[in-house]
A and B are shown apart, each in its own frame.
Chain A
Amino acid sequence: MKHTLTPQRYLILLAVMLTASVGDTLLSHGMAQVGPVSLAHLGLLLAALRNLWVITGILCLLGFFASYLTALSWADLTFVLPSTAFGYVVVAFLAKYWQHETITVYRWVGILLIVCGVGFVANGPSLTLHEPQHPADGPAPVDQGATTGGTQ
């Protein structure tokens, strides 16, 4: 049996990807406004908590953790991590068009490699189902990847 995801679960993966990348970008934008924090001026970190961008960034990252845990409850770690790595690409585009950073050729190649990596897992099974310890429990549904143990 191929273990496929429902549209709702694809939305959770999208939430993992977007909340992490948008959260990081919002934090970066906020901290740029707050200024450099050093060990001698740790009080600035408290000031950062009053910055609207930082607050929104933290809320986004809380959303990331909740959706990440939800995804891990029904999908393999080795499925969730590459699928949500597309967030790095989102960060690169946000950096280019919002923060006006320069994207070098190396970065474009990096983006291309990540897109390829995501493509490798996108159509594969999301969860490894293990056979039961006791035969009396009945036959276990085994996902396509676990059955073949190779590429599809």
Chain B
Amino acid sequence: MIYASHIHAGPIETWSTILTVAATAVAGDVLTAGAMRRIGDLDRIRAKSGLGGAIRVVTSSPMFLLGVLSMAASFFSLLFTLSNVDLSLAAPASASLTFLGNAFAAKIFLKENVNRRRWMAALFVCAGVFLLSK
């Protein structure tokens, strides 16, 4: 399998680091989305309590903070991955896997109605993102 000319990692290390990036990104997205769902419509909160009130409500949610922590973990694992794997593989592969993982996780954890239309959207965007790196 050809990845790139200056790769130091083997296929197992390559794909396990890419999967880590995607898994932490999915955790970040789902936790953040779950927190925002619990908090409710931010437009209404902002209208009632102002921008400061909205920021206070969001930043005092443990689920949101956990989501931000997962996003930070995803960012640093991407940096780690990029030190071993080529950007042209790591970036699109992790972004595509994140799109698919989000669809599964949103259905399971957020109980979203992921109908055929949304599955198709996730698959098309996933394939599109991958091709953008070519």
Q: How far is the CB of B23 from chain A (nearest CB, A)?
A: 16
Q: How many residues of B contact A (CB 8 A)?
A: 39
**Are A146 and B113 in touch, CB under 8 angstroms?**
yes
**Are B113 and A81 in touch, CB under 8 angstroms?**
no
Interface of B: prevailing SS: helix
Mask for A61-76, Cβ within 8 A of B = 1, else 0? 0000000011011101
**Are B117 and A110 in touch, CB under 8 angstroms?**
no
Tell me the complex Cα distance, A130–B113, Å.
Answer: 10
The answer to whether residues A78 and B118 also contact, given A110-B132, A114-B125 and a CB cut-off of 8 A, is yes
Q: Is B65 located at the chain interface by the 8 A CB criterion?
A: no
**Are A74 and B128 in touch, CB under 8 angstroms?**
no
**Are B128 and A79 in touch, CB under 8 angstroms?**
no
Known: A76-B33, A120-B118. 15 other contacts (CB 8 A): A70-B43, A73-B36, A73-B39, A73-B43, A74-B43, A77-B30, A106-B131, A110-B127, A110-B129, A120-B117, A120-B124, A128-B112, A145-B115, A146-B113, A151-B116
Give the total number of A-B pairs whose CB atoms are below 8 A apart.
Answer: 133
Q: How many residues of A contact B (CB 8 A)?
A: 42
**Are A73 and B132 in touch, CB under 8 angstroms?**
no
Contact partner of A113 (CB less than 8 A), chosen from B33, B37, B128, is: B128
Q: Is A118 located at the chain interface by the 8 A CB criterion?
A: yes
**Are B106 and A76 in touch, CB under 8 angstroms?**
yes
**Are B124 and A116 in touch, CB under 8 angstroms?**
yes
